[in-house]
Chain A
Amino acid sequence: MATVFRLENVTKVYKNDGKEFSALKGINLDIEEGSVFGIIGMSGAGKSTLVRTLNRLEDVSSGSVKFYDQELSELSPSQLRKIRRQIAMIFQSFNLLGQRTVLSNVMQPLKIAGIKGKEAKEKALEMLEVVGLADKKNQFPSRLSGGQRQRVAIARALATDPKVLLCDEATSALDPKMTGEILDLLREINRTRKLTIVIITHEMSVIEKICDKVAIIDDGNLAETGDVKEIFRSPKSQAAKKLVFPSNPYDPSQPDSRLIRVAFDGLAASRPFIAELVEKTGRKVNILSANTKSVGGIGYGQMVLELPGSKEDQDVIIEFFTGNGLSISEVER
C-alpha cells in the first residue's frame, strides 16, 4: 500500500502578542492509501491544526508533510492549488454557499479546476446521485437539514475525483441518526471509490464505527497510533485509556477496595464469565460498570469490578480471569 501522507516531526507554533503557543509538538504519522484514518483528541489537542497541515491550510513551523512523496512546503502557490484539488475537505459547519443552489455549490470545485459548464453540470449531477440528493439540485442550502447539507458538501468534495477526503469534525453538528447516515455514506465511498479518508473527531463512537486506524492526539503530541481494534483491546497511553474507558459512573461500596477492569473481545464477549466465576470459585464481585459494543464487526466489552477485601480472594478472582484469556488492568480512583 502506498503512503498518502507522511508526517515527520511536524511542529506548529502560534505567536500571539509575543506569547508562543505550541499546537503541534513533533508529530510523526503515516496514512496509508485506501484506509479510513481517524484522528481523535480532546478539543484544543491540536487535531484541527494537524488536519490543516495536510492540505497546507496551515503552514508547519518545522518538520515535513509529504503527500505521495511530494513535500507540501516546497510547492509554489499555483502547484499547491493543483495539489489541493486532490485533497478534498468537508467541515463541521458544512461551509456551503448560501446564495447558490445545491447544484451550483457542487459545480464550484469543477469550475475552479477549469471544467466548463455542461461537463461540470453533468459531473455535479452524478455526484448528487451518489449522495442521494439529485432531487434537491435546485434547492438552496438553507432549505436542507444538517445531514443533507453535509451530503451536499460530500458531493462537492468528491466532484473533482480527489485521492483523499479530509473530514474536520464533519458529524459534530449532527444528531446521532444523521451522524450514522453520514458515516455509512463515507464508509461506502471509501469502499466503492477507493478513497482514503482522514477523519478528525472528538467522539470515540465515530472512530469505532468506521475507522481502520487511529491516532490519538493529546496536547499537541501523538499519544498513540495503530489499528482501532488493537487500541480498543489494549490502550497503552493515558490519553487512549481515557478515550476507550469511560470514567467510572458509580462509586465503589468500600472506600479503599481494589478495582480492576476486565476487557474481553470476540468470542469471550459471549461467555457468561461472572456467573462462571461465582460457580467455580464461590467468590463474588461487585460490577461498577460494564458495556459491550461492536468495533469493526467484533464484539468488544469491558467491565469495572470491585473486588472483595481479602488478598486471597482477590488473587483467586484475578487468576480466574487471566486463566481464561481476559486482560486485566488496575483502575485508579
Chain B
Amino acid sequence: MTDYIVETIKAGILETLAMTFFSSVFAYLFGLPLGILLYATSKGRIMENKPVNFVIGLIVNIGRSLPFLILLVLLIPFTRFVTGSSIGTTASIVPLTIGAIPIVARMVESSLSEVQPGIIEAAVSMGASPLYVILHFVIPEATPSLLLGGAINIATVLGYSAMAGVIGGGGLGAIALQYGYYRYQKDVLWTTVTILVILVMVIQSAGNRIAVKVRK
C-alpha cells in the first residue's frame, strides 16, 4: 500500500469514529425518551396509554423495517436540508441517526421491561409518582442492561456507517468501496474490513466490561 492510502485509511478511521460517535449520541437523545415512552405506555405499565403506544410503536416499526440503504436514499433531501449537503461525513450523521433511533428505542424498551414488576409496585406503594418511579426506580435498575444495549447499538451504527459510503459518505466504508471494490485493491479492502471488525470488537467488549462493573 502506498503512503497515500495509509494516510487515507488513518483519516477514514477518524471519520468512522466521528460518525459513529455523533450518530449514537443523537440517536440516544431521541431514542431514549422514545423507548421510555414505549415502555411506560404499554399494556399493564405505569402510564398505560393505548393510543400513544400504538402511534409510537407504528413509527418505530416502520423505521426499523426500512432497509438502511433505502433509508439513506430516501433521506437525501432531508439531509441536504439539515446539513446543506448530502455527501461527506457530516451529512452521513443525519441518516445514521434517523436509522438508529427506532433501534435504540426498542432496545431501551426491552431493557426497561426486564425490571421486576415488584420493584415498581414497591415504589408506587411508597407514594411515588409515575415519573418518579421511572426516573428513580426503573432506569437505575435497568442501567446494566441499558449499557449492554448501548454497546450493541453503537456497533450497529458503526456497521451502518460503512454503508453510508455508497452514497458518498466518508469513513472506512467509502474507502473499502472506492479502493477495494471499484479499483480491485484487495489489500485495501481487507485492511479496512479488519479495522472495522476490530473496532466492533473493542466497542462490544468495552460495553460488556462496563456493564459487568456497574451491575451490583
Contacts and interface: CB of A to CB of B under 8 A. Distances in A.
A binds B: yes
Interface of A: 55, 57, 77, 80-85, 87-89, 91, 93, 95-100, 108-109, 111-113, 140-142, 160, 166
B141 A99 contact: yes
A93 B116 contact: yes
Contacts of A83: 127
A95 B122 contact: yes
Contact of A112 (B118, B127, B140, B214): B127
A95 B119 contact: yes
Given A57-B124, A57-B125, 14 more contacts: A83-B127, A84-B124, A84-B126, A84-B127, A85-B127, A95-B116, A95-B122, A96-B122, A98-B141, A99-B215, A108-B136, A109-B126, A111-B136, A166-B125
A113 B127 contact: yes
Contact of A99 (B124, B126, B144): B144
B129 interface: yes
A138 B124 CA distance: 25
B138 to A, nearest CB: 10
A81 B129 contact: yes
Contacts of A57: 121, 124-125
Contacts of A141: 216
B140 A109 contact: no
Contacts of A88: 125-126
A112 B131 CA distance: 11
B199 to A, nearest CB: 29
A99 B216 contact: yes
Nearest to B214: A99
B137 interface: yes
A108 B140 contact: no
A99 B143 contact: yes
Contacts of B123: 108, 112
A87 to B, nearest CB: 7
Nearest to B130: A77
Given A85-B126, A108-B126, A97 B140 contact: yes
Contacts of B137: 97, 108
A100 B216 CA distance: 8
A81 B119 contact: no
Contacts of B140: 97, 99-100
Contacts of A108: 123, 126, 136-137
Given A57-B121, A97-B119, A112-B132, A82 B127 contact: yes
Contact of A81 (B118, B121, B127): B127
A98 B119 CA distance: 10
B128 interface: yes
A302 B126 CA distance: 43
Contacts of B124: 57, 84
A156 to B, nearest CB: 8
Contacts of A97: 119, 137, 140-141
A230 B216 CA distance: 48
A113 B128 CA distance: 8
Contacts of A85: 126-127
Interface in B134-152: 136-137, 140-141, 143-144
A57 B122 CA distance: 10
Contact of A95 (B121, B136, B144, B216): B121
Interface string B204-216: 0000000000111
| A-B pairs, 6 with minimum CB distance | A95-B122, A84-B127, A140-B216, A81-B127, A95-B118, A89-B125
B62 to A, nearest CB: 29
A299 B44 CA distance: 48
Contact of B118 (A91, A100, A109, A113): A91
B121 A91 contact: yes
Contacts of B128: 81, 112
B129 A91 contact: no
A238 B116 CA distance: 37
Nearest to B216: A140
B117 to A, nearest CB: 9
A84 B121 CA distance: 12
Chain B CB count within 10 A is highest, among A93, A112, A160, for A112
A96 B122 CA distance: 8
Contacts of A93: 116, 118
Contacts of A113: 127
A278 to B, nearest CB: 56
Contacts of A96: 122
